[in-house]
Chain A
Amino acid sequence: MECERCHERPATVHLTEIINNQKRTMRLCEQCAREVQAESLGFLPQMNLHSFLASLLHNEFGAPAFGQAVVPERARCSACGITEAQFAKRGLLGCADCYHNFGDRLEPVLRRIHGTNRHTGKVPRRTGGKVRVASQIERLKAKLREAISREEFEQAAQLRDKIRELEKQL
């Protein structure tokens, strides 16, 4: 018989737990038995990120909004078919289009996780196109401001020329 917990190793241990007068018997392998016992002694494994996020999302997605009695049925991604409730349960979106289709509902979640909702990092070379150039210009402008504040005008002039060059590409 395989272990009920990992479904990988053979079950060699019968573990009986009594919690609030409820008896429960588990057939486990040695390793899982040790882990389960450690848990029941209060050494909880670190919280899994997904389950944590899922409970966070549950407030935003799964539960009715403030002042509303029921969850509106509307929300389902038209591309992959995943529902808001499914997303809230697992913490995983179904496809790239979910970001668009759940857009307004995701916004506060992203803000809570990252403190922002705007990407400022790398842009793919081939498909990024103009976005890539625009973000490069943004970065150069930041450098330009720094150079001016340090009164390094020669460098500032070089940066200004580079920015003008790039702006022609837009």
Chain B
Amino acid sequence: MALKEILNEARSRWMDGQGTDSDIVISSRIRVARNLTNLPFPHLLNQEQAERVIYAVKAAVEKRSLKEKIGVLELTRLNELTPVERQILVEKHLISPDLLEDYQKKAVVLRDDEVISIMINEEDHLRIQCLLPGLQLKEAWELIDRLDDELEAALDYAFDERLGYLTACPTNVGTGLRASVMLHLPGLVLVKQIKNVLSAVAKLGLTVRGLYGEGTEASGNLFQVSNQVTLGLTEEDIITNLLSVTRQLIAQERSARAALLKESREQLEDRVGRAYGLLKHSRLMSSEEAMRLFSDLRLGIDMGLIKKIPSSLVNELIVLTRPAFLMKTLGKDLTPFERDVYRSQLIRKKLSAAQQM
């Protein structure tokens, strides 16, 4: 089963470090919200109605023309998975934490390379998502656009001439499109410019969030920037706007990094070296500390201060060392203390294996 493989594998396509500007842009994501006509929005669905949505989507993704154009998509109901397996899908960014609530009514569709996922009965009947490594917003939109056309051939979407695609929350109405990029901005944090830069971004109609989406804090200097407005702009406008702001952020981050290297090389090398040392030698590692050190390590790799370790390994470690993934790997429940022990073991093992290559 493809899904079982996905759950056992920490690597996802979005982590492979490919794509343009992948030293700063970890990943690009586009999602669109779609609803079916003649059924209430998910939060009002009873079990029987929820099943109807799931069946309709299942039939749509199994159509031959969709398979030919998009690839094989597999639908899994959330109640077929264990709690740990469900949590892993969140840790890999394939589904949102909200999909775990009331999971009897929910399902997820995945392509085996994990680039495409569809959440069923989350806040909207369908949340179609594409996640690619590096700065690839246009590529992600092209894929979503084609998939959406194929789905629409089989599903009756709730669409209004004036308001566009109708969504449960009025903040998504219109295009239903949310485009976002995950940025690693340690340079701007270190030169203490991050607040200024992010407040400028907010003035341009974009939102900044932490690693795991809405309501989460920024950890490991990772920031998620996305569009706020979904109505009154075309999909291309929204994406172009985010793309040009992202290019600005990349330029700012690069000049911050260059300044650090020029003005305070010793401090920077010290910081990176300390992070590397702690990751290689400590015996207890909390996930907060790990995230902070991974950020320093990645900065060292991107700036050429650390050779031998690929930045894709850091991406993989971020997922591998999350609580649910650790428990999955070890095949048992772990207390936070035990997790800290195994986390540090795993990091040491992975880093020394990479060094010997």
Contact = CB atoms under 8 A, between A and B. Distances in A.
Contact of A46 (B158, B216, B336): B216
B331 interface: no
Interface in B24-80: 35, 37, 39-41, 43-44
A68 interface: no
Contacts of A94: 40-41, 44
A119 B163 contact: yes
Nearest to A92: B168
Interface of A is mostly: loop
A54 B165 CA distance: 21
A120 B233 contact: yes
B234 interface: yes
Nearest to B177: A121
A60 B156 CA distance: 31
A149 interface: no
B162 A117 contact: yes
A79 B234 CA distance: 30
A123 interface: yes
A80 B145 CA distance: 30
A91 interface: yes
Interface in B77-119: 83
A119 B231 CA distance: 5
Nearest to A51: B215
A40 to B, nearest CB: 16
A126 B177 CA distance: 19
A106 B173 CA distance: 12
Given A48-B214, A80-B40, A117 B231 contact: yes
A72 interface: no
Contact of B41 (A92, A115, A118): A92
Contact of B169 (A46, A92, A114, A119): A92
A106 B169 CA distance: 11
A46 B216 CA distance: 6
B175 interface: yes
B290 to A, nearest CB: 16
Contacts of A8: 83
A145 to B, nearest CB: 16
Nearest to B335: A30
Contacts of B148: 122
Nearest to A44: B217
Given A92-B123, A96-B37, A109-B170, A124 B152 contact: yes
Nearest to B174: A119
Interface string B206-225: 00011000111100000000
Interface in A73-130: 79-80, 82, 90-96, 99-100, 106, 109-110, 113-128
B344 to A, nearest CB: 18
B134 to A, nearest CB: 25
A31 B339 CA distance: 13
Contact of A92 (B43, B149, B156): B43
B258 to A, nearest CB: 31
B160 A119 contact: yes
A110 B40 CA distance: 20
A45 interface: yes
A68 to B, nearest CB: 23
Nearest to B336: A30
B118 to A, nearest CB: 16
26 contacts: A30-B336, A43-B217, A46-B214, A47-B215, A49-B215, A82-B44, A92-B169, A94-B41, A94-B44, A95-B40, A96-B35, A99-B160, A100-B160, A113-B229, A114-B173, A114-B229, A114-B230, A117-B162, A119-B163, A122-B235, A124-B152, A125-B152, A125-B153, A126-B153, A127-B152, A127-B157
Interface of B: 35, 37, 39-41, 43-44, 83, 123, 145, 148-149, 152-153, 156-166, 168-171, 173-175, 177, 209-210, 214-217, 229-235, 336
Q: Which 9 A-B pairs have the closest CB atoms?
A: A119-B164, A116-B232, A96-B158, A114-B231, A121-B175, A95-B40, A96-B166, A121-B234, A80-B40
Interface of A: 8, 30-31, 43, 45-50, 53, 79-80, 82, 90-96, 99-100, 106, 109-110, 113-128, 131, 139
Given A49-B215, A53-B171, A100-B160, 17 more contacts: A31-B336, A53-B169, A90-B43, A91-B169, A92-B123, A93-B168, A93-B170, A99-B173, A106-B170, A115-B232, A117-B163, A117-B232, A119-B164, A120-B232, A122-B164, A125-B153, A127-B159
